[in-house]
């Protein structure tokens, strides 16, 4: 065998060592092999459950955290006695359907307390305020004030009295009536409401006879009477009738006041009974024309029983000039006099004042703050200072008396 030279052996050894240090060439993969590998990888990852969720369970997305918002407490707004929202009647605390009505003088209509032909009065349910007072011989009369709404049939309209001068002045009103004492009443009225009262019955449709020409056949229309006085130059576009305050929720305190019985004389009794369903006091009355039958008082226009948010009984100074002629002093009461307010089935002993001859009667609680009436209409009774009061449970009875 032929020997390899030593030098060649050395070179061959070096060559083998260098070839051992070179990376091997990867084997070539066919397309079929590539497809098989890809399918295997896909199968593995498709069967791998999402982290933290069991296989076969749809993950529930985490809820978005909503910041907690504290509910805004409902704050009940007091209405009056100085500021009233636009379109709110300062004599009732209620928004009116026609705000234009508030840009005029209120209208007071004198109404008989007696029923006509055994039928109720007309138009009382539309009045903001109704004043009831003594006129002599055990009888009383109503002065119904219309401001936030009108009635086109009010009555029966009766004669004007001295106290209507005070009411007309306090509420900057015009007054409709039929007749009045030319010696003892009309001159007195000129001191308070000069030119702002009407005492005839031929001003149709403001105040007119319905054709029967009897004492109970005169009726009024508040809108028409308002327009008549406007035409006479007595218009007042923005009367300041502030002074009364209202809130829906009844004030704290008070005592049970489920009913109030008012007696001016034999056969003249009326009662206001609280009705929880309506939140108002329903009026019942006795009438001598029906043999003193006691029953509900209705508005002949609507056929509905008279109902009031507030019944207010105030003590006032009466001065008897003669049997059917009295002064009732309302204007000038600056110190305050006793009153009782019935609202929401409760009775409150308060006081009333009328320090300004051109501003409404004001009501105050025992701390001297404005008493908060219930929004709505009010029936206001003017009792003499010596009138008697009897209370049995929540039933109150007032008997008219003057010194």
Beta carbons of 380 and 130 less than 8 angstroms apart = yes
Rounded to whole angstroms, the Cα distance separating 380 from 132 reads 6
Give the model confidence (pLDDT) of 201-255 as tens digits: 999 999 999 988 888 899 999 999 999 999 999 999 999 999 999 999 999 999 9
What pLDDT, on a 0 to 100 scale, did the predictor assign at position 215?
80
Phi and psi at residue 165, in whole multiples of 5°?
-65, -40
Task: Quick: pLDDT tens for 91-116.
Answer: 999 999 999 999 999 999 999 987 66
Count of CB atoms situated within 10 Å of the CB of 398: 19
Is 373 or 52 the better-scoring residue by pLDDT? 373
> How is residue 314 annotated by DSSP?
E
Q: What is the mean pLDDT of the chain?
A: 84
Question: What pTM value is reported for the model?
Answer: 0.81
pLDDT for 32-79, tens place per residue? 443 333 333 333 333 333 333 333 434 444 444 444 444 444 557 899
Residue range 156-209, pLDDT digits in tens: 999 999 999 999 999 999 999 999 999 999 999 999 999 999 999 999 999 999
pLDDT over 90 (residue 369)? yes
Can you give the pLDDT at residue 216? Answer: 86
| pLDDT level of residue 290 (50, 70, 90 thresholds) | low
Q: What pLDDT shows up at residue 314?
A: 98
Domains, the chain, with CATH or none:
99-399 (3.50.90.10)
Return the number of other C-beta atoms located less than 10 Å from residue 236's C-beta.
Answer: 16
Q: What is the pLDDT of residue 267?
A: 67
**Predicted confidence (pLDDT) at residue 2 exceeds the cutoff of 90:** no
Residue 63, pLDDT score: 43
Give pLDDT, residue 362: 98
Per the structure block, which two tokens stand in for 355? 């320090």
Distance CA 400, CA 224 (A): 35
Question: Beta-strand (E) ranges in 70-159?
Answer: 107-112, 129-136, 139-146
Share of the chain above pLDDT 70, in %: 78
**What pLDDT, on the 0 to 100 scale, is given for residue 35?**
36
């Amino acid at each position: 065998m032929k020997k390899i030279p030593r030098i060649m052996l050395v070179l061959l050894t070096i060559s083998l060592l260098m070839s051992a240090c070179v990376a091997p060439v990867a084997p070539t993969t066919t397309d079929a092999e590539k497809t098989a590998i890809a399918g295997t990888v896909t199968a593995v990852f498709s069967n791998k459950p999402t982290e933290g969720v069991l296989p076969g369970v749809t993950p529930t997305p985490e809820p978005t955290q909503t910041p907690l918002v504290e509910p805004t407490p409902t704050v009940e707004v007091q209405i009056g006695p100085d500021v009233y929202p636009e379109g709110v009647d300062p004599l009732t605390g209620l928004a009116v359907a026609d705000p234009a009505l508030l840009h005029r003088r209120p209208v007071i209509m004198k109404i008989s307390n007696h029923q006509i032909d055994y039928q109720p009065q007309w138009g009382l349910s539309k009045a903001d305020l109704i004043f009831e007072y003594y006129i002599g011989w055990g009888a009383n009369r109503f002065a119904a004030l219309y401001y936030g709404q009108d009635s086109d049939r009010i009555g029966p309209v009766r004669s004007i009295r001295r106290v209507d001068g005070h009411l007309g002045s306090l509420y900057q009103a015009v007054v409709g009536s039929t007749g009045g004492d030319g010696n003892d009443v009309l001159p007195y009225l000129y001191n308070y409401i000069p030119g702002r009262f009407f005492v005839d019955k031929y001003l149709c449709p403001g105040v007119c006879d319905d054709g029967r020409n009897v004492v109970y056949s005169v009726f009024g229309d508040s809108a028409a009477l308002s327009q008549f006085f406007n035409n006479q130059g007595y218009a007042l576009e923005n009367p300041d009738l502030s002074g009364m305050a209202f809130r829906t929720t009844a004030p704290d305190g008070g005592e049970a006041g489920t009913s109030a019985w008012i007696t001016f004389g034999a056969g003249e009794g009326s009662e206001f009974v609280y009705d929880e369903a309506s939140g108002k006091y329903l009026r019942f009355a006795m009438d001598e024309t029906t043999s003193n039958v006691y029953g509900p008082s209705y508005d002949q226009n609507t056929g509905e029983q008279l109902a009031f948010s507030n019944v207010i009984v105030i003590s006032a100074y009466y001065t008897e000039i003669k049997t059917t002629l009295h002064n009732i002093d309302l204007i000038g009461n600056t110190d305050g006099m006793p009153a009782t307010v019935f609202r929401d089935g409760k009775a409150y002993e308060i006081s009333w004042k009328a320090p300004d001859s051109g501003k409404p009667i004001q009501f105050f609680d025992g701390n001297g703050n404005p008493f908060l009436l219930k929004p709505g209409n009010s029936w206001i009774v003017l009792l003499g200072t010596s009138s008697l009061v009897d209370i049995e449970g929540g039933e109150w009875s007032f008997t008219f008396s003057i010194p």
